[in-house]
Chains A and B, each alone.
Chain A
């Protein structure tokens, strides 16, 4: 029976390391006891078959629980200024959090320059490079599953998700016929941002710092919109700078002990990386609408600021939603869990309305949708109505459960409730810029900046 036990030890190696450390020895003992009894009863094959058949389910159960369990989260809880109740991550872990940005940045810049200067086939090069990164990220994923979820894994997971979505849509576009291309666009427009938003929200719920880490590359990549028609060299300089900023921010976010500092770094990423893109787009690209007077620093600002607010919404939105969820969970006894979901459901509808509006204006799709949902203002009014009902009920539940400890807690809850609807509004305001329409007034831009400042203050205060 020694060989059976040896095989079982190999099987045990399939479980995550923390699980093996906790139960490995015991499991071996229980398996041996079961084996001996089965042998006595002459039911050895039945016993081994039962163990083998139940193995995949057991592995899935343990891995899913490991991903969700508090032990793997290192969550930053309200009441402590430090992000993990101790010093920030070490340099090694912090660099691992920055590494994917450096690798992707090098890949993007190198492939663009090689394609242009050495006439290398762009399709093949991109396929090889993205395939190589995909495998690398998969390796990181497996490592984290086996060793327990490290905080730096968030930087890799977000790229893995984006690459998966891109490869899936590439595969679908190859398989579908030309007349179905529009449907693919509809699906992409609606699903990509929502899937990414959901992932950012879930990461922020598990660990606020992970939520920031995952949002950071997206707030950098969004500026690629400005690079159309910009000559290669300045475009690659701006791209390289953007990835360098994202890399530095990710490392410092992991190193810092204070959540407010990590949040500040995350918001600094679009501030620093976006300005070169906006400038290049206005002066060298074709992003300035024809209705505007012509390239100037003021016109750069009018392009830059709505994008800045939208990228800040990507960072702040999931954090605010996670804060609302925390209030809902603390007031569970008075129905808080239902009410926070109702409020976030209103927010989700607001996001969907914003995306539909973008899809409609940019492609002429979505004409088949009911006007209430597809027109921006009726749809937003419905979304806000649901949100207001949800937030009202949640506040009442929180008061009943004494969630708010002092006047500052009340103020933060009021700020949170008032600022969350800014997310779909800020995104909706971005779409005239994306669609090349007239730019917005300075009053709206000032309001958007005020929203970013107030939201950052609320999120920062809520975590300290």
Chain B
């Protein structure tokens, strides 16, 4: 099994898919909608790109899928695995570290004031 770091950095669509599942289990269309909402419409997945990404994440063991509890709908639902959660948290940690590093340099964007810190 590859180490957590071998998955990093995550591609933007992958990051948002994991982020949407971080909030709880979802079916395909709900993921599609939430990725668009979370990314402020910047990441728009087509049906093909969504399922290509879900296929990869399933094979990598980062998410799992099972039949919806409401059997009449026959939908498949996706949720994060423990490993997926670890990868997601590691990516967030990596991004936080990058952000912190960038804020320490002279001339970087001051998060609090929104202006340049010289």
Which residues does A use to contact B, with CB under 8 Å?
15, 19, 22-23, 26-27, 29-31, 33-34, 50-51, 53-55, 57-59, 61-62, 65, 69-71, 329, 332-333
Contacts and interface: CB of A to CB of B under 8 A. Distances in A.
A19 B54 CA distance: 11
User: Which bracket fits the contact residues of B?
Assistant: 20 to 34
24 contacts: A19-B51, A19-B55, A27-B48, A29-B28, A29-B29, A29-B75, A30-B28, A30-B32, A30-B51, A50-B44, A51-B46, A51-B47, A51-B48, A54-B48, A55-B48, A58-B48, A61-B52, A61-B53, A62-B48, A62-B55, A65-B52, A65-B56, A65-B59, A329-B2
A70 B59 contact: yes
Contacts of A30: 28-29, 32, 47, 50-51
Of the candidates A26, A27, A29, the one having the most CB atoms from chain B within 10 angstroms of its own CB is: A26
Contacts of B56: 61, 65
Contacts, number: 67
Interface of B: 2-3, 6, 28-29, 32, 44-56, 59, 75-76
Contacts of A26: 28, 51, 75-76
Contacts of B50: 30
A318 B49 CA distance: 35
A26 B90 CA distance: 30
Interface SS of chain B: helix, strand, loop or mixed? helix
A57 B54 CA distance: 15
Q: When A and B form their complex, which 7 residue pairs have the shortest distance between CB atoms, in order from nearest? A: A58-B48, A54-B46, A61-B52, A30-B28, A23-B51, A33-B29, A58-B49
Contacts of B44: 50
A34 B55 contact: no
B47 A34 contact: yes
B73 to A, nearest CB: 10
Contact of A23 (B2, B3, B32, B55): B55
Given A33-B29, A34-B32, A23 B49 contact: no
Which interface residue of B46, B53, B59 has the most chain A CB atoms within 10 A? Answer: B46
B3 A333 contact: yes
Which of B46, B47, B51, B53 has the largest count of A CB atoms less than 10 A from its CB? B47
Contacts of B3: 332-333
A34 B56 CA distance: 22
B59 A71 contact: yes
Contacts of B76: 26
B87 to A, nearest CB: 15
A75 B114 CA distance: 54
A23, A51, A59, A65 — which one has the most chain B CB atoms within 10 A of its CB? A23
A50 B52 contact: no
Nearest to B28: A30
A55 B54 contact: no
Contacts of A54: 45-46, 48-49
A58 B46 CA distance: 9
A92 B28 CA distance: 39
A57 B49 contact: yes
Contacts of A31: 47
A55 B50 CA distance: 11
Interface centre among A30, A51, A62 (most CB of B within 10 A): A30
Given A34-B32, A65-B59, A332-B2, A27 B49 contact: no
Nearest to A19: B55
Nearest to A23: B51
Contacts of A69: 59
B90 to A, nearest CB: 15
A54 B50 CA distance: 10
Report which residue of B6, B49, B75 has the largest number of chain A beta carbons within 10 angstroms of its beta carbon: B49
Nearest to A53: B46
A295 B50 CA distance: 68
A53 B44 CA distance: 12
Q: Which of B3, B28, B48 has the most CB of A within 10 A?
A: B48
A71 B60 CA distance: 11
A62 B52 contact: yes
A55 B54 CA distance: 16
Given A27-B51, A65-B56, 8 more contacts: A15-B48, A19-B55, A26-B28, A54-B45, A58-B49, A62-B55, A69-B59, A71-B59
